[in-house]
Amino acid sequence: MSLIIKNGTILTMESDTPQFYKTDIGIKGNRIVFIGDIPSDFTVITEIDAKGKVILPGLINSHSHIAMSLFRHYADDLPFWTWLNDRIIPLEEKLTGEDVYGGSILSIAEMIRSGITTFADMYFFMDDIAKAVSETGIRANLSRGLVFNASRDIKKLETSVELFHKWNDGEDGRIKIDLGPHAPYTCAPEYLKKVAKTAEKLNTGIHIHIAESRREVEEIYSLYKKSPVEYVRDCGIFENRTYAAHCVKVTDDDIAILAKNNVSVMNNPGSNLKFGNGFAPVSKMLDAGINVSLGTDGPASNNNLNMFEEMNLTALVNKAADHSPTSVPAYTALQMATINGAKALGIDKDTGSIKVGKKADIIIIDMDKPHFYPKFNIVSSLVYAAQASDVCTVICDGRLLMSGRKLLTIDEADACRRADLLASNIISLNQ
């Protein structure tokens, strides 16, 4: 496919300061082949007029559990452990692969609509999530969630290895498989050590939750006389490319450990706020040189998959938490949602910014709306005013996934109807 985007304003996310270009972008196959003048030998098949619009790299949701959209609005306004143990886990035990596939299609539709071209997911029935990714054209790093309560759970790690060999680099590289030990409080030391060695053997990454709540920190310290960060480090996890969700309850020493070991942190402000878990010290992490990205968490703990909301929250919450209006500026929030996410997932050579040679993961924002006027500062408007519904065009891997706000790879009405039916059936089984 040859595609050209004309007349738009490009924000490349290739620099530590905003760089704008009012020019054209050419795409051939799945890669960006030029930015600027159209080469004489470039044959245009599809042309998109982006006049009055801003062109960005696709947003990267670096931490999610997308099939949990089936539990959206079911267990709100509850303490985290009550929500998890009393309401969510009993439902998850009844899930089938068909349920997970249906919830994934629903969430992918929502993500594409909001400009997300890549997501990282930790869950189960990952074959079914990979199938949904394959069919819909989005990009994903997938991890089978791993917990260790009994010897039978060793099989879950074996399943992860099988998943890696089946799907890693599948769909021309759109699908990556990482390992997903759930959290320090659900994985014993020997199990984490086994996961670390397996990741090293496969040369793949590790997706894990760390220090999400005060209770987790207290439990790990009680058992091991260490913080969750120290515990995970001492089990060898950080010897692999690691991206850690939340990291809310971390000390200065923990931050130094994360920085020294090149651990990426996925900030999830919406979910952390909803559960009352507090605020991750993002500005301290950034000052320490940690790569901080953004994620929505699951749609049962956040209720949406809206990265514009997460950008807005991370910029605002940290200003309040630090008592500083300069903490986490708007452009930093944009970096967290794009190139930083790509770095966390190990795919920044191919995506996360707009550059010749990179894969064509691109979104177009319609800025001809009242909340964008007057247009003093495009970066500020994208973080402090933009809505997910302002995304009008989405391209992933050179393929149009949404045009004119119409999804092209998903039957949206059918996805909503099917998910509603599946969710109702699951709830009825629990009554």
Q: If DSSP codes are grouped into helix, strand and coil, which group holds residue 386?
A: coil
Share of the chain above pLDDT 90, in %: 94
Model confidence at 430, pLDDT cuts 50, 70, 90, reads confident
Residue 370, both tokens: 């009242």
The DSSP letter of residue 71 is: G
Q: Are 234 and 187 in contact (CB under 8 A)?
A: no
Phi, psi (deg, nearest 5) at residue 43: -100, 120
Model confidence at 148, pLDDT cuts 50, 70, 90, reads confident
Q: Tell me, what's the pLDDT at 44? A: 87
Instruction: Pick the closest to residue 230 from 286, 284, 285, 192 (CA basis).
Output: 192
Distance between CA atoms of 231 and 228, rounded to whole angstroms? 5
Q: Tell me, what's the pLDDT at 153? A: 77
Helix 126-136 to helix 154-167 angle, to the nearest 10 degrees? Answer: 20
4 alpha-carbon distance from chain centroid: 27
**Domain boundaries in the chain?**
2-57+360-407, 59-345
Model confidence at 154, pLDDT cuts 50, 70, 90, reads confident
Count of CB atoms within 10 A of residue 69's CB? 27
Q: In the structure, how many helices (H) and strands (E) does the chain have? A: 17, 17
Instruction: Pick the closest to residue 351 from 183, 116, 127 (CA basis).
Output: 116
Q: Tell me, what's the pLDDT at 155? A: 86
Which pLDDT tens digit goes with each residue over 207-262?
A: 999 999 999 999 999 999 999 999 999 999 999 999 999 999 999 999 999 999 99
Question: Is residue 81 pLDDT above 70, yes or no?
Answer: yes
Instruction: Give the domain 2-57+360-407 fold.
Output: Urease, subunit C; domain 1 (2.30.40)
Compute the 3-state secondary structure of the chain and give helix, strand, coil in percent, each to the nearest 5: 45, 25, 35
Q: Tell me, what's the pLDDT at 149? A: 73
Q: 90 preceded by cis ω (within 30°)?
A: no
The DSSP letter of residue 83 is: I
What architecture (CATH level 2) is domain 59-345?
Alpha-Beta Barrel (3.20)
Question: Is residue 429 pLDDT above 90, yes or no?
Answer: no
Instruction: Pick the closest to residue 52 from 5, 2, 19 (CA basis).
Output: 5
Q: Tell me, what's the pLDDT at 182? A: 96
Instruction: Pick the closest to residue 159 from 207, 204, 126 (CA basis).
Output: 126
Distance between CA atoms of 165 and 240, rounded to whole angstroms? 18
Residue 313 burial by CB count (10 A; 0-12/13-18/19+): exposed, middle or buried?
buried
Question: Is residue 363 pLDDT above 70, yes or no?
Answer: yes
Question: Is residue 138 pLDDT above 80, yes or no?
Answer: yes
Instruction: Pick the closest to residue 289 from 226, 343, 211, 227 (CA basis).
Output: 343
List residues bridging with 121 in a β-sheet. Answer: 64, 142
CA dist 291 → 218, 262, 288, 360 (Å) = 26, 8, 9, 23
- Rounded to the nearest integer, the mean pLDDT of the chain is 96
Distance between CA atoms of 38 and 24, rounded to whole angstroms? 8
Which pLDDT tens digit goes with each residue over 4-27?
A: 999 999 999 999 999 999 999 999
DSSP letters along 263-328, please? -EEEE-HHHHHHTT-----HHHHHHTT--EEE----TTTSS---HHHHHHHHHHHHHHHHT-TTSS
Helix 330-337 to helix 307-322 angle, to the nearest 10 degrees? Answer: 140
Q: Are 215 and 259 in contact (CB under 8 A)?
A: no
Distance between CA atoms of 211 and 345, rounded to whole angstroms? 20
Q: Mean pLDDT, to the nearest integer, of 87-91?
A: 92
Distance between CA atoms of 365 and 372, rounded to whole angstroms? 11
Q: If DSSP codes are grouped into helix, strand and coil, which group holds residue 428?
A: helix
Q: Mean pLDDT, to the nearest integer, of 354-382?
A: 97
Q: Tell me, what's the pLDDT at 3? A: 96
Q: Tell me, what's the pLDDT at 150? A: 66
Which pLDDT tens digit goes with each residue over 269-294?
A: 999 999 999 999 999 999 999 999 99
| Pick from 87-91, 351-355, 356-360: least confident | 87-91
Supply the pTM of this predicted model: 0.97
CA dist 377 → 53, 119, 374, 385, 392 (Å) = 14, 28, 9, 11, 20
Q: Tell me, what's the pLDDT at 431? A: 67
Distance between CA atoms of 71 and 104, rounded to whole angstroms? 12
